[in-house]
């Protein structure tokens, strides 16, 4: 006859064995499905889009962000990686005319889109008006956030223009529709750790047609 201690050990072993059997049985179909999916599912994809007016096609890992596709695959390193969490705005680019944080967007989401980075706006000797205004008004110091600031600034003007009622005509321009407070609010997603905010506002106002 088994002692109470031996019975307790036997009971414990039975429970452990039963639990292990159930776990293995339940996991087997899931494991098989995962293995099958891993075999059949493509881990990379071909992406085609237009970047700075040029048609580009690349093969990328499906998890690649637009920021990494631009920097690592197309070598357009003007777009900066700052926080990589969508909090600083250094990676701002324009997609179909709208600004986005490229670190928060998968590249595959932009099949067929038209993307503009800082490299597509101007070049030495032929600067975009916003780039020239940033230089004129000292809108940067270390310059790390500047590409994102400039892309965002251009988009801000277009956003404000888009909100002007269609029946309004004459000399009314984007500058007449904005205030420094509104500019700061619209640009609040772009952080400048050097603190050149007031100069950035002056640059935006000048390009929009106002008087800085």
pLDDT attached to residue 14: 52
Q: State the greatest distance between any 2 C-alpha atoms of the chain, in Å, as a whole number.
A: 105
Please check whether residues 200 and 161 belong to one and the same domain: yes
Q: Domain ends where: 67, 89, 120?
A: 120
Does the reported pTM lie above 0.85? no
What is the CATH number for 103?
Answer: 3.10.20.30
Q: Looking at the structure, tell me whether residues 57 and 70 fall in a common domain.
A: yes
Average pLDDT over all residues of the chain: 84
Q: Is the same domain home to 142 and 203? A: yes
- The residue with tokens 């891993």 is 38
pLDDT (0 to 100) of residue 163: 75
Residues 105 and 70 occupy one common structural domain:
yes
Supply the pLDDT for residue 169: 52
Are 107 and 46 contained in the same domain?
Answer: yes
Q: Given this model, what pLDDT does residue 42 score?
A: 84
Across the range 180-194, mean pLDDT stands at 94
Same domain, 62 and 19: no
pLDDT single digits (tens) 15-67: 555 555 545 445 455 545 545 555 557 899 999 999 999 999 999 999 999 99
Range 175-199 average pLDDT: 90
Q: Domain boundary at 69, 87, 120, which? A: 120
d(CA 98, CA 151) in angstroms, rounded, equals 10
pLDDT value of position 12: 59
Spatial CA neighbour of 144 closest among 200, 93, 192: 192
Residue-range definition of the domain harbouring residue 186: 125-212
pLDDT top residue among 27 and 81: 81
Are 130 and 183 part of one and the same domain?
Answer: yes
Domain count, the chain: 3
């Amino acid at each position: 006859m088994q002692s109470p201690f031996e019975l307790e050990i036997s009971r414990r072993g039975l429970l452990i064995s039963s639990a292990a059997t159930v776990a293995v049985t339940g996991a087997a179909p899931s494991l098989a499905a995962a293995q099958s999916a891993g075999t059949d599912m493509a881990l990379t994809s071909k992406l085609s889009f237009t970047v700075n007016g040029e048609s580009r096609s690349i093969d990328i890992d499906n998890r690649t962000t637009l920021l990494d596709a631009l920097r690592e695959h197309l070598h357009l390193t003007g777009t900066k990686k700052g926080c990589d969490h969508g909090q600083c705005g250094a990676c701002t680019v324009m997609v179909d005319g709208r600004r986005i944080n490229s670190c928060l967007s998968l590249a595959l989401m932009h099949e067929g889109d038209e993307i503009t980075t800082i490299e597509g706006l101007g070049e030495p000797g032929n600067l975009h008006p916003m780039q020239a205004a940033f230089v004129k008004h000292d809108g940067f110091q270390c310059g790390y956030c500047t590409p994102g600031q400039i892309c965002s600034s251009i988009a801000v003007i277009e956003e404000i223009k888009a909100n002007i009622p269609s029946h309004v005509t004459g000399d009314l321009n984007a500058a007449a529709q904005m205030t420094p407070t509104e500019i700061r609010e619209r640009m609040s997603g772009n952080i400048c750790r050097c603190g050149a905010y007031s100069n950035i506002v002056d640059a935006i106002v000048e390009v929009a047609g106002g008087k800085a």
